[in-house]
Amino acid sequence: MPSDLLARVMDAAVFAAQKHQYQRRAGYDKLPYVNHLLKVAEALIRIGGERDEALLLAAILHDVLEDTDATHEELARRFGREVADIVLELTDDMSLPYMERKWLQVEKAHLLSQKARKVRLVDKATNIRDIFTYPLDWPLEKKEAYLENSIQVAAHIRGGNPRLDAWFDEAVEWARQRLREWRGAGKNEPK
């Protein structure tokens, strides 16, 4: 990765870390939220071979409008209008109930730009891997519902990067196997 791109990605990571500094992943026993953002960007780079600056910056920043006091204009000034617009595309309306937000992700998936589609697909795959790895106080039905929602969203946004599509599919198959194992053992969480 060219050093100027690395510097921009690190700048976005520091910005995101500062904005999300007091946030933890819900139910994940105090895991810093920024871990998730870094995983999304890392997968785009390592698995997808992506090197587009706006894409990678948006990946790091994809939840900052949704979960912090950052504004679209602030992002546009610091990281450029394209990055801010991609992040805005990926921002859920947190005033809506959880299930409505998930339904809207499916309904609006086809409207996402190509770069937003890649971030969303990797975000979903990363969340699936986390939901089915870390102890989380979600019932099995909620985990399965998240998996099914992710599959529905992915059906509308696939095709931008075959390696990312394959990685998403691997995450889905792995999660389905975990569900089968847990159901067979009568458990909700990994050991």
The larger pLDDT score, comparing residue 182 to residue 41, is at 41
Residues 107-116: pLDDT tens digits? Answer: 999 999 999 9
Predicted structure pTM score: 0.93
24 φ/ψ angles, rounded to the nearest 5 degrees? -125, 155
Catalytic residue selected from 11, 42, 52, 67: 67
For residue 24, what are the β-bridge partners? 32
C-alpha to C-alpha distance for 38 and 1, rounded to whole angstroms: 16
Catalytic residue selected from 42, 66, 92, 169: 66
130 is catalytic: no
Please state the domain extents for the chain: 3-185
Residues 120-135: pLDDT tens digits? Answer: 999 999 999 999 988 7
Write out the two tokens for 129: 């891997």
66 is catalytic: yes
For residue 32, what are the β-bridge partners? 24
Contact 2, 45 (CB under 8 A): no
Query: Per CATH, which fold does 3-185 belong to?
Result: Hypothetical protein af1432 (1.10.3210)
Amino acid symbol at 124: K
Query: Residue 31 has what pLDDT?
Result: 78
The larger pLDDT score, comparing residue 190 to residue 151, is at 151
Of the pLDDT bands very low, low, confident and very high (cuts 50, 70, 90), residue 137 is confident
Of the pLDDT bands very low, low, confident and very high (cuts 50, 70, 90), residue 45 is very high
